[in-house]
Chains A and B, each alone.
Chain A
Amino acid sequence: MPLITLSSPHSAKPTKISTVMGTVLLCMIPGFIALTVFFSYGYLINLALAVVTALLLEAGSLALRKRPIKFFITDLSVVVTAALLAASLPPFAPWWITVVGTATAVLFGKHIFGGMGQNPFNPAMLAYALLLVSFPVQMTTNWPVVDVYVSIGDTLRAIFAGNVVDGWVGATPLDYYKLNLATQTADEILASSLFNGWLPAGWVWVSLAWLAGGLVLIWRRIITWHLPVSMIATLALLSLVFGIDSDSFTPASIHLLAGATMLGAFFIITDPVSCATSNRGKLVFGAGVGVLTYVIRTWGNYPDAIAFATLLMNFAAPFIDHYTKPRTYGHTKAHKGHK
């Protein structure tokens, strides 16, 4: 065999992009199971819809941009984007919401910036935010209630024909708590069927499922602890400090376990492309998301805030990178260069 002469290093870690993305997908399984078990088949249907749409559009975009289709599509990144979107959309949202959302994510979130690795924003969250702004009704009213479990046939009808029965859907716990604070005390709110005295059980299980998947990601060294920990810690701190007065502010437990916090902390803000890169930068980035999430959730008009908080911090990522540059060995201080 003729000898091959390539320059060093001659060995590489077997972890490739597809391994990274594949692991992320595997770690999302518990979350999707919990969503399906505790809420609705709608999540699975949305997932299928989003993945198919995403793959088709990815292939189309790559063909248009004259890039090798199989090579890039098998990196699975677009599947992760689709799954994140499907996990974030309301399960009874009409089918076109999912399709439009996925299209936005793939086309405007990713390829318009030059494809893989070039997007400044998290594609799934960009799509989510655009949907929320453009179709506020469909995006805020299609959340399932815990006490009614809709059959798969009815779910399909709801998604594809718009047959949503009023009793199936309601507000998310975060929304519900905030909306009722004006008229009720904390105890009265928690006594409602949604909270069942303490926390909405289904939501908690889902959060724990995301948390479990996230811990596996850290264990497999796909992500580092910096982002999730700093985001959760910041959010917890703020909601604890303000939440002492639970008659005026949502308590920390609901912030952490009854919303998209865990999904966001482990799966969304950890999107490598659009977050800060250094460890210190990641701490700053996570804390920023935590603060913004709390602010938007508490004083803003949207039911959940992960998407906006993430996008805002995406904006800030280049600056964070600039100011958290590590110090090079043998230099007394980090050399920032000019901008």
Chain B
Amino acid sequence: MNAIAKQVWALPGGIHPPENKHQSTASAIAEPFIPTELVLPLSQHIGSPSKVVVAVGDAVLKGQLLAECQGNVSAAVHAPTSGVISAIENRAIPHASGMSAMAIVLKPDGKDQWRERQPWQNWRDMPRDDIFARIAAAGVIGLGGAGFPTATKLGFDPERINTLVLNGTECEPYITADDMIMRERADEIIAGAQIMADLLQVERVLIGIEDNKPEAIAAMQAAIPDSLAARFIIKTFATKYPSGGEKQLIWILTGQEVPSGRIPADLGIVCQNVGTAAALYRAVVQDEPLISRITTVTGDAVGQLGNREVLIGTPMNELLEAHNVDWQKADRLVMGGPMMGVALADAKVPVIKTTNCLLLPTRKELPLAGPEMPCIRCGHCEQACPAGLLPQQMLFYAKNKELERLEQQNLFDCIECGACAYVCPSDIPLVQYYRFGKGEIRREQAEHEKSERAKARFEARQARLEAEKAEKEAKRQARAEAARKAAEAKKKEGSAAPAAIAKATSKVAAQSGPIDIAALEKAVASAQAKVDQAIVKLNEAKETDPGNLPAYERALGKFEEKLAKAKTALTEGKAKADDPVERAKRQAAAKAAGVGPSVADLEKKVATQRQRLQKIAEKLKAAQDNGDDTSAIEKGMQATQARLNKAQAELDKAKAEQAPADDVGAKAIAAAKEAAAKRAAGIGPSADELRGKVAKQQERLAKIEQKLADAQAAGEDVSAIEKGRDATAKRLEKMQAELAQLEE
């Protein structure tokens, strides 16, 4: 039999609140019952919400997948019993703010019929990847309270991990779910831990249990087979809150501290709750996904105290009724323990995967904190803090909103255990101040980032404006250059024509905006030449005219500036030259500049030819009426007709060429125009068309909903998304109404 290791590291600080555990350990874990409906939120875990794979009306079997993982950190949701999906909608979830979120609602059929299962008694022979896939698909998450997807935690590179810590501490008063599961299902826990240990390839499994659970310790000890005795070490230690905090437990068991801002894996440690290990065993070996959990129902307002295996999604009020809760006596409904639990406003919310305890104390049992008194700096909080923080100092800074100082006090290392607030003789809700402080600091950081982004945007705009200015300057120079050359040419050749042509070209080039890379390059070259010249001059001046050096230097500076500008203009110009839109523009401009006949010109041509043709036709008719010879007229008419045809063909071609350069928007406009025309003509879209549109719109709406949920989960501003959703929903409604009308 395996020995119990006593070597542990003492937890600094900590408190000894009344344990109140015996009330709920007197009876065995009660059987689950099937409630009237099951509400399964899509986001019961840390990470992205799962994705629904069933539809309203679907009949599902127990254990059937209802929503699958989405993203790397996510957990699937399964049917806790057989029944029919009655809704997929927003439902109140157990959250301090009483918020609601997307949930699948299942109406049980009472048959409790399993889907087909494939137990793997020989799980050891299964390929690692298959085991992994099964875990990932089973929706197992940390059942201790945090709710981190287990598959993700087990997915670390085994090279990195050397120790698996199994947390059976359960240091919160009142809660006995882990205690009871260790007493009754130690075998499953050890088997689950074995699977974890195999996946992570660790040689050491440390099981931490507080010494107030002798039955659990004995059961766990008995469950460890001799073959594993060397690897699986149970460590017991004095009962103290909060020994069960992940970081605290790691310290107690290994004497190592998780560096601030890092995770246990950085120490080669993975920490799992004992209940999670049992759930993992069921998932892998018995092919039963996580559809139920052990929940403690306790507190003086509860008639029948104890632990129960509860189907995930069971409405709390039904569970509490089963335990004869006296609502007259209940003062609060706390999900979790009295130290870190969340007080809920309503019991009409489901039990979720992380609901380890429902505590219904009377006012007498857990009196409300009195009014807040001033801090007397007694230091009791500091003595109690397991994280080595100065709670009274943090309080001071939080109250004064000195956020920087607050952060320097390592506020973010506060685990919000509440030990400080528990001992404070002044009844100061310290943890609330810290939560506030953390929120404020996060908000400020977000704002800072936002302003940084704005600044970057502003700077980019400034740079663009600069560049535009430089470009204009370059054009101006190019123009001047051209004019100068033209003038020179005029002088040389004495002919006005080429000069005029040059002038016209340069004007067109400058005004119509096609980017004349050559001109820009020339500008750069000439600027460079000027700089070189200035340098030479400066060097000369050093010997000949030392008194005037500053003037030379200034001149050089000016030329250098010009050169820089010219260079920017060139790079910009080159970049633009590669831009398809610019290219199209250039083509258009080139056409406009007379390289090819413009559409407008061609149109005019066609029109003139038509007019001529008509005149000729009139003449011809008159001549025929008069009985004159019409052969000459006919010839002319033919020629005109040919010219018209040619012009027409040219026009068509030009138009076709122009089209690709056009905005895509034009097509949409055209389509819209067409549709409008159709509507005007009373044709209207067909029912089929509409149906397709409705489907598309629905898809869009679902996508937006998804985005919204993500944003909400991430705590982002969702007002814009909400607006978008509303608009989309309205459109969808309209379409549906139209469709209904049509179908009538």
A: which residues have CB within 8 A of B? 1, 3-13, 15-17, 19-20, 71-72, 75, 77, 115-118, 224, 272-274, 277-279, 282, 321, 325-332, 335, 337-338
Contact = CB atoms under 8 A, between A and B. Distances in A.
B259 A330 contact: yes
Contact of A7 (B392, B424, B431): B431
Contacts of A329: 247-248, 251, 257-258, 260, 386-388, 413
Interface in B314-341: 327-334, 336, 338-341
Contact of A11 (B17, B371, B392): B17
B410 interface: yes
Contacts of B432: 7
A5 B344 CA distance: 6
Contacts of B366: 10-11
A3 B333 contact: yes
Which of A3, A9, A277, A325 has the most B CB atoms < 10 Å from its CB? A9
Contacts of A77: 376
Given A7-B96, A330-B387, 16 more contacts: A3-B333, A3-B343, A5-B344, A8-B343, A9-B340, A10-B339, A15-B423, A16-B427, A72-B373, A116-B373, A277-B390, A328-B388, A328-B389, A329-B386, A329-B413, A331-B388
Nearest to A276: B379
Contacts of A6: 332, 343, 368-369, 429
B409 interface: yes
Contacts of A326: 382, 388-390
A17 B368 CA distance: 16
B660 interface: no
B383 A279 contact: yes
A17 B257 contact: no
Interface string B421-447: 111111101011001000000000000
B374 A117 contact: yes
B330 A327 contact: no
Interface of B: 15, 17, 96, 98, 173, 247-248, 251, 257-262, 327-334, 336, 338-347, 359, 361, 366-371, 373-379, 382-383, 386-390, 392-393, 405, 408-410, 413, 416, 418, 421-427, 429, 431-432, 435
A228 to B, nearest CB: 15
B260 A277 contact: no
A337 B402 CA distance: 13
B409 A117 contact: no
B333 A337 contact: no
A71 B17 CA distance: 26
A330 B250 CA distance: 11
A118 B377 CA distance: 9
A328 B332 contact: no
Contacts of A75: 373
Contacts of B261: 330
A12 B260 contact: no
Nearest to A329: B387
A8 B343 CA distance: 8
14 contacts: A3-B331, A6-B369, A10-B332, A10-B359, A12-B422, A16-B370, A17-B376, A17-B426, A19-B425, A273-B376, A327-B388, A328-B410, A329-B388, A329-B413
A4 B374 contact: no
A16 B369 CA distance: 10
Contacts of B422: 9, 11-13
A72 B423 CA distance: 19
A6 B435 CA distance: 13
A226 to B, nearest CB: 10
B375 A337 contact: no
A5 B96 contact: yes
Contacts of A335: 408, 410
A319 to B, nearest CB: 14
B383 A224 contact: yes
A117 B343 contact: no
Given A3-B346, A277-B390, A328 B413 contact: yes
A3 B390 contact: no
Given A116-B373, A337-B408, A4 B421 contact: no
Contact of B378 (A4, A20, A71): A20
Contacts of A224: 383
B17 A13 contact: yes
Q: From A3, A118, A326, A335, name the one whose CB has the most chain B CB atoms within 10 angstroms.
A: A3
A71 B339 CA distance: 27
B388 A9 contact: no
A321 B392 CA distance: 12
B374 A1 contact: no
Nearest to B391: A277
A77 B427 CA distance: 16
A117 B377 contact: yes
Given A7-B435, A116-B373, A330-B257, A16 B425 contact: yes
B40 to A, nearest CB: 23
B339 A11 contact: yes
B425 A5 contact: no
Contacts of A325: 390
Contact of A331 (B260, B346, B378, B390): B260
B431 A4 contact: no
Nearest to B257: A330
Contacts of A12: 367, 369, 421-422, 424, 427
Contacts of A10: 332, 334, 338-339, 341, 343, 359, 361, 366
A8 B373 contact: no
A278 B368 contact: no
A273 B261 CA distance: 33
A326 B391 CA distance: 11
B283 to A, nearest CB: 31
A17 B339 contact: no
Contact of A115 (B368, B374, B423): B374
A5 B379 contact: no
